[in-house]
Each structure stands twice: as structure tokens, then as C-alpha cells.
Structure 1
Amino acid sequence: MQKIKTALLAYGMSGKVFHAPFLELHPGFELTGAWERSKKLIQEDFPLVKSYASIEELLKDEVDLVIVNTPVGTHFEYAKQVLLAGKHALVEKAFTTTVEEAEELKEIADEKGLKLTVFQNRRWDSDFKTVAAIFDKDILGEIVEAEIHFDRYNPNLSPKPHKETANDGAGVLKDLGPHIIDQALVLFGFPDALFADVRKTRENSVVDDWFDILLYYPNTRVRLKAGFFVREPLPSYILHGKKGSFLKSRGDIQEDELKLGKKPMVTDWGKEPEYKSGVLHTDIEGSEVRENIPTIPGNYYGFFDALYHSIRKNQPEPVTSQDGINVMKIIEAAIQSHSQQKIISFQN
């Protein structure tokens, strides 16, 4: 197996928790190091890798893939440098700060024959995998309405300056928003129109920390919500069809396990507690059914395995650059809708 030499553009929480453990686990990747600006931490966990002093030094090295896991406002600049240097790129969400930037990155990657993917890892969460499986079985009938929430209770401002200062990459719409926007697009496709309300609810917040987006489809309405004052949350996934309903709480355990330093595995990983099972209430072959649905285990290994096959076997990226562009289109339209207080329609 020809290994993909991979470097990180930072070794903070995302590099340590979401990327390095799976690069170490997958036999097709070799972690070469990370660009570290002040704290030099990666060699504490991986003594044989490099701590690069600059992105220029990193790009001159024998690296095949670069993970752009820096603040959102830097994604376009760094991803462009990576692609122009002839390296494949994995960019964290939000993909960029504008649709125009996202489209330019796609153009560069296409011209150079490089792989460009967006780290929409929540597609591999246990809760969403379970919802998607129910959706695909078509046992709810035609979906009339759906809601996806990413709710938290955290009234405090983040200690990370890039998250709480007024900049193009800050705010919950570009932080948690890409997760549930992407999930909605996976299930329902691109909408005809949307209406959005975006707010600041925390004391002294200068960035948005609450949103409510309504996606319009011909026969379906999909609501996406996130906020920081939800102490007692509703189910994070609510699907109502003409035959029945499915409710599922947000229950994926991977992030918490990884933060505790637990090493992921290819199997026997990402199993939710049984009490977080989803509730299915529908009609199956003329009989009313109400039962708990066991949760499908989540595993971010699936993303990295698909990325390996994309690069080495020229298969499609696990999340395409067009997927990233589509999420940015929703975000830009949501900002426009909130500003103008009107429904924004998308031209086909």
C-alpha cells in the first residue's frame, strides 16, 4: 500500500483530536508533521514527525496531502497555496468565507488534477448515519417536514479570539452551520429557496450565535437551528412523513472519546448508549409500529478511508468541493435573507 504523506497546518484541538488519530490508524496514511507557530506539541505525541516553522517549509517537503485546519478566515489563502504547490487538500468547515472563494479553489484543483475535499465529518456521526438509513428505507412516506438542530447550553464566550472577534469566518452560522446544512443537502438535495433569521444572544457577543434557516422544497420544508441557550434540548433530528415520524437525539460519542485521548478503531468504535436510540412511529404494511431503533455506530475512519481511495484510486472525494460550494451558497443566502428580511430564491 503506497502511503499518502500528510501534513497538518496546525496541531491544536482539531489536529490532535479529529485528524492525527485517524491518520495514525489508517495504514494508507503517513503523518509527516504539522506547521506549529508557537506551541511545539506534535512531537510529544509523534516523536518522529516534523514541526514545520512555516507553511513554505511544509510545502517544500515530500508531502502529498495537506490538511487545512486553521481558522476559517485563513482557509482560502492557505488552501490556494497548497493547491498551487501541487498538493491535494483537505479543508475543514466552513470551506471558505464566500462562494467566490470556494469556486476558485475548485477551479484550481480541477485544472491541476488534484483532490480537494471538505471535512464534513458529521456525515459519519452515529446519529446522522441512523437518520440517513431510516430516510433511505422510505418507511416514513413522503417527508412533509424535517428539523435538524445543533443546540448547546453555553452562555460564555469562547477563549479563542478568532471565534469571538468580528471577522469573515466567525459566528455559529459558519461554525456549527456547515454541519447541519451539509446533512440537510445530503438528505434532501439543494433547495428552491430559503428564509433565515440570525441573531446574537449571548451577553457582549459581537458574532452571531443563533440561527434559524427554513429551506423550501416543492413538497417539503426543512428547518435548521443552532443556539447556545438550549439547556433542555429537543431531538436533534425530527422527520415527519405522510406515513410516520422518526425522532433522534444527537448522541455521537466520538468527539468526547477522542478528547479523552482514546484511540479510534476500525471496528467496535463510535457506539452510542442504548438510551439514545431513535423513536420510529409509522405504518408498515398496514400495521402501526412504534419502536426504538438501535443506533448505527459512527466512525470518522470512513471519511479517511474514502479519501485514501479517492487519491490513490482516483475515486470521488468523500465530500466534493462542489458539496462545499453548495454549503457556502446556503450560508451566503442565509446572510442575505436575514439582512433583507425576505425569502431568497435560487436560480436553477
Structure 2
Amino acid sequence: MTFKMAIIGFGKSANRYHIPYIKQRDIQIKYIQYRTRKPELEASFYDQNTIFTTDLQEVLNDNEVKLVTLCTPPSTHFELGKQVLNSGKNVLIEKPFVNDVAEAKELFQLANQKGLIAMPYQNRRFDSDFLTLKKVLSRGYVGKPLFLESHFDKYRPDSSVHTGKAIDGSFFGLGVHLIDQMIALFGLPSKAGYDIRPIQNSQSTLDDYSETDLFYSGFKATVTTHPLAATPYPRFVLHGTQGSYVKFDIDQQENDLKLGIMPDDPDFGHDTPDQFGIVKYRNQNNDWIERQIPTVNGDYGLVYDSLIDSIENDQPKLVSDTEAIANIQILENGIAIGGPHISDLEQTNDK
């Protein structure tokens, strides 16, 4: 039986990161609800059976809808999430999930009381570069990992003043993904160090640069987002006791989507060989070996595959409540104090 869902919001997030992947699966988007109808966009929508509406209650009152995805502004996530759960439906919430740990705990408590699922949309667990890093770690190429540097940099000059809440800044918008990737790999760190600030205009209250050090026992991960990196850093630099791994170039799914290349294209999201990462390691004879690691193909739609399996077959969630709360705690601690600082974290490890 076709799984039926709804999407709240019909902007870039819904059209770029969700709908192209949903349409490749046995999932029906029964409703798309948003405030201001755009007939020209609706007319070209791939499924003529989808109902476009401005009435949220129409969506929430339909018992056929099992899942609602929120692709709305971050400030609306908490209240909308509660409405969805109180209507008896599971909810998938775009990043950043909510404002703080207290809101996250309240949503998860409500979901658990009702036997439902609330989960952040951490699609970048299925980035090709991240999946390839997982492969390098699982095969033990570099031995025991000692240091990992993760960059998600761009060159987008913007000297205008940006003001607003922390949830609207780069740390919550992009850092949330990079931190989640580290939590997915290594669990919850014991300490975190922060450098979060606006670097393009000091009058801005919203950060556009962030660097976060995550400290583990014998290991450190540094995740960075930079808006003025004309010459890119590697996406990943991993050093271990037996070698190193370096990968340039980010996952290509977003670039292809921007060009109108969709997930059903056989070449969608693929790296070319010149984009493959390089690992250099010592083998059992202490010989140094250097080789390319072909990039594992990414697929953001796997979030939906996993989530539906959790809803229908009671399988563990892709992003556990513990992991989601840890991520928000790291974000919240980062903006709690201005300027560079170190923060202790709870010793809870969900891995």
C-alpha cells in the first residue's frame, strides 16, 4: 500500500531536498500546504493527485496522512511540530530542528507519549563524501583515528548587516549538519570549543563563520563553515596512527539538483575520478601505500526509507532522540557565551 504523507512549505527546501527523492519512491504526497498559493508552480508539479492547500487543518484532519514533513522557517518548527504530533501524525522537521534543548525534549516527550516519531531531517548522513569517510574508517585504513577536520566552505561575499535569532545563523544552519555527522560517527564528545562570529560585517548579530572543536578520548574533530573561502579546503582531512585520508569536493547531489539533474538520472550525484579521496597508509609490511578511494554514491531519499521503516516496522530511528538532543546542546552551548570558549558536555554516548 502506498505510503501517504504531506509537506508543509513549498520553497527551496521542499523542492530541492525532499520532493525529487520522494517521487522516486512508493510515497504519495497527498498534500502540500503553504500560505501563498503559486498556481504556476503547482501546474507543473509532477503528481496531479497532490492537493495544494492553505488550510493546515485540512492536512491534520486527514487520517490517511501518516507523516508530515516541515519545510518551514526554523522559528515555526516547535509549534508546528506540536500541532502535527497532537493530530496523531509523525513529523520530520528540517534543520535546524528547534531552538533549544528544552523544546527538543518537549517534542520528543510528546511523540513518545503518543507512540509517534519526531525526527530532524539530517539528510547529510547520506552525503557521498560522508559515506565514503565512514567506509575509510570502517576498513581501518588509517588505524586509530586521532584528528578529523571537516569543512563546509563557500565563497559568498555579503557585507550587509544581518540580524535575528541564533537559529537563523550559519552555525545553526550549516554547523548542525557537520556536528550531526560527527555524532553519528563517534557519539557525544566530552567537551566542545567554539569560535562563532560574523566575519563579513562586525555589526551583524548573526554569525556567518563557525569553527567547533569536539573533544573525545584521544581524538578531536574540528568542523568549520567559512563564507569567504575562495580557495577551498579539503572537505575532510583524517589523520590516524597508520595513515591519512584527504577528500576534496563536497557531495554533488545539490549541484546536480541546481542544474535540474534529478535523482532518476543514472549519473546523478556521482563524483568523477579526479574528485576521489586519497588515502595513504602503512600495510602489514610497513610499506606506504597510496590509493584512491572511489566515492560512495549519496542519496538523501534514504532518510525517508529509514523513517518509513521506523514508522511501519518499529525499527530504530536514523537519528535517535539522544543524538538530536546532543546536537542541539552543542549548538546551544556555542551561542551561550560570546567569543571563543570551551564548554563541558554531558557524558551521554548513544553509539
TM-score range relative to shorter protein = over 0.9
Match of 1:35 in 2: 33
Shift of 1:192: 0.5
2:196 to 176, 183, 198: 198
What is the CA–CA distance in structure 2 between the aligned matches of 1:322 and 1:347, rounded to whole Å?
11
Tell whether 2:210 aligns with 1:211.
yes
Q: Quick one: which of 122, 125, 139 aligns to 1:123? A: 125
- Match of 1:245, SS? strand
Runs of 5+ consecutive residues of structure 2 not aligned to the other structure: none
Paired residue for 2:180, among 179, 182, 193? 182
Q: Kindly indicate whether the alpha-carbon contact (under 8 Å) linking 1:212 and 1:225 is maintained by their aligned counterparts in 2.
A: yes
2:269: which partner in 1? 270
Distance 1:222 1:308 in 2: 32
- Give the superposition deviation at 1:256: 1.9
AA matched with 1:47: Q
Q: Distance in 2 between matches of 1:168 and 1:105?
A: 20
Secondary structure class of the residue paired with 1:169: helix
Query: Which residue of structure 2 aligns with residue 245 of structure 1?
Result: 244
Take 1:36 and 1:73, find their aligned partners in 2: how far apart are those partners?
15
CA distance in 1, matches of 2:21, 2:340: 43
Task: Say whether residues 1:224 and 2:235 are aligned partners.
Answer: no
In the other structure, the counterpart of 2:74 is 72
CA distance in 2: counterparts of 1:39 and 1:211, whole angstroms: 36
Q: Pick closer, same or farther for the CA change 1:67–1:88 going to 2, 3 Å.
A: same
Alpha-carbon offset, residue 243 of structure 1:
0.8
- Match of 2:315, as an amino acid? Q
CA offset digits 1:172-226 (Å, max 9, x no partner): 0010011100111112211011110111012364310001111111201111111
- Any conservation in 1 of the 2:37–2:54 contact (CA below 8 Å)? no
Q: Deviations over 1:139-187 (max 9, x none)?
A: 21111111111111001379xxxx9441242100010011100111112
1:87 matched to 2:89: yes
How far did residue 136 of structure 1 move?
1.4
Equivalent residue, structure 1, for 2:314: 314
- Once residues 247 and 150 of structure 2 are traced to their aligned partners in structure 1, the CA distance between those partners, rounded to angstroms, is 10
Q: Where does the alignment leave 5 or more consecutive residues of structure 1 unmatched?
A: none
> Shift of residue 340 of structure 1?
6.9
Change (3 A) 1:269 1:310: farther
> Could you say if the C-alpha distance between residues 169 and 279 of structure 1 is closer, same or farther in structure 2, counting changes exceeding 3 Å?
same
Q: Deviation per CA, 1:7-62, whole angstroms, max 9, x where unpaired?
A: 111111111111112221111x1111211211423343133211121322221223
1:297 is matched with: 297
| Residues 330 and 42 (structure 1), Cα distance of their counterparts in 2 relative to 1, 3 Å cut | farther
- Pair 1:123–1:346, CA change in 2 (3 A): same
Distance 2:197 2:253 in 1: 29
CA distance in 2, matches of 1:321, 1:9: 22
Q: Is the 8 A contact 2:36 2:54 kept in 1?
A: no
User: Cα deviations across residues 237-291 of structure 1 (Å, max 9, x unaligned)?
Assistant: 1110011100112331111222333331397642112111101011121221112
Specify the alignment match of 2:343 in structure 1.
344
1:3 lines up with 2:5 in the alignment: no
CA RMSD of aligned residues (A): 1.9
Q: 1:167 aligns with which of 159, 165, 168?
A: 165
Aligned letter for 1:60? N
Is the partner of 2:167 in helix, strand or coil? coil
Is the contact made by 1:43 and 1:49 (CA closer than 8 Å) also made in structure 2?
A: no
Distance 1:266 1:143 in 2: 36
Query: SS of 2:79's equivalent?
Result: helix
Q: What SS does structure 1 have at the residue aligned with 2:152?
A: strand
Q: Which amino acid aligns with 1:6?
A: M
Amino acid at match of 1:292: Q
SS in 2 for 1:339: coil
Q: Find the aligned partners of 2:61 and 2:187 in 1 and give their Cα distance.
A: 40
Q: How far apart in 2 are the matches of 1:78 and 1:334?
A: 25
Equivalent-residue separation in structure 1 for 2:164 and 2:249 (angstroms): 29
1:333 to 1:126, Cα distance in 2 relative to 1, 3 A: same
Amino acid at match of 1:251: I
Count matched residues: 341
1:76 to partner: Cα distance: 0.7
CA contact (8 A) 1:118 1:320 kept: no
